[in-house]
């Protein structure tokens, strides 16, 4: 993977914001089931083998999330510091999310609350069509695959729900933001 300065396209849910852990907390509250995110082997929870709830039950938690509960989510460790460093090194930060646009207010509020820096906030699930992005950070396997196929390097945040995503020369699997920053330092993109 060759890294040069550019515009970063950064996903929000489970890349900046600990979304799935919050959804699981909501599911526990609603149905009394204790599900650990480490068990989720599919991006769509109900497709995980042995998952104890139906998609409709999961959707209820997503409904809450969309309607205000998202503000209770915690940021991912190191995300803020990493984005501050990228910006200080002259990169532009586009936060690109497939959240519904009705969440714009809550999303902006949450980003401000945790001091997450960004230049642009875009609501779109069709990320591969956004040509100006030079580098992507993503956790959804199918999305990462599309982005990689569009010819752009992708840092894929490693999670159980994307472990079946096939290897691709443009996909670099990383465990956390610290690893992304180490790679960027290695390629002398930041100091």
- The count of other CB atoms within 10 Å of the CB of residue 51 is 19
Tally DSSP H helices, then E strands, for the chain: 6, 6
Residue located via tokens 């509960």? 69
Report in angstroms how near the CB of residue 39 gets to Mg ion at its nearest: 18
CB-nearer residue toward Mg ion: 64 or 139: 139
The site for Mg ion (CB under 5 A) is made up of: 11, 13-14, 139
Report in angstroms how near the CB of residue 90 gets to Mg ion at its nearest: 26
Report in angstroms how near the CB of residue 97 gets to Mg ion at its nearest: 8
Report in angstroms how near the CB of residue 191 gets to Mg ion at its nearest: 29
In the bound state, the residue with its beta carbon closest to Mg ion is 13
Based on its alpha-carbon atoms, the radius of gyration of the chain, rounded to whole angstroms, reads 16
CB-nearer residue toward Mg ion: 9 or 190: 9
CB-nearer residue toward Mg ion: 86 or 137: 137
Closest Cα partner for 118 from 144, 147, 96?
96
CB-nearer residue toward Mg ion: 11 or 64: 11
Q: What is the dihedral of CA 185, 125, 166, 86, to 10 degrees?
A: 0
């Amino acid at each position: 993977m060759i890294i040069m300065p550019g515009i970063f396209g950064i996903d929000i849910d489970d890349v900046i914001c600990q979304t799935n852990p919050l959804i699981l907390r909501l599911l526990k509250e609603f149905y009394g089931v204790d599900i650990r995110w480490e068990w989720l082997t599919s991006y769509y929870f109900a497709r995980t083998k042995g998952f104890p709830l139906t998609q409709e039950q999961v959707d209820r938690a997503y409904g809450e999330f969309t309607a205000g509960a998202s503000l209770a989510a915690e940021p991912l460790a190191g995300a803020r510091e990493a984005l501050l460093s990228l910006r200080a090194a002259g990169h532009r930060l586009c936060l690109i999310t497939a959240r519904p646009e009705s969440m714009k207010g809550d999303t902006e509020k949450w980003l401000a609350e945790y001091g997450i820096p960004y230049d642009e906030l875009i609501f779109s699930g069709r990320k591969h069509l956004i040509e100006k992005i030079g580098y992507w950070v993503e956790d959804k396997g199918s999305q990462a695959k599309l982005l990689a196929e569009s010819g752009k390097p992708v840092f894929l945040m490693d999670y159980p729900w994307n472990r079946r995503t096939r290897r691709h020369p443009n996909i670099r699997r990383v465990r956390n933001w610290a690893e992304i920053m180490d790679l960027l330092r290695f390629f002398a993109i930041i100091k």
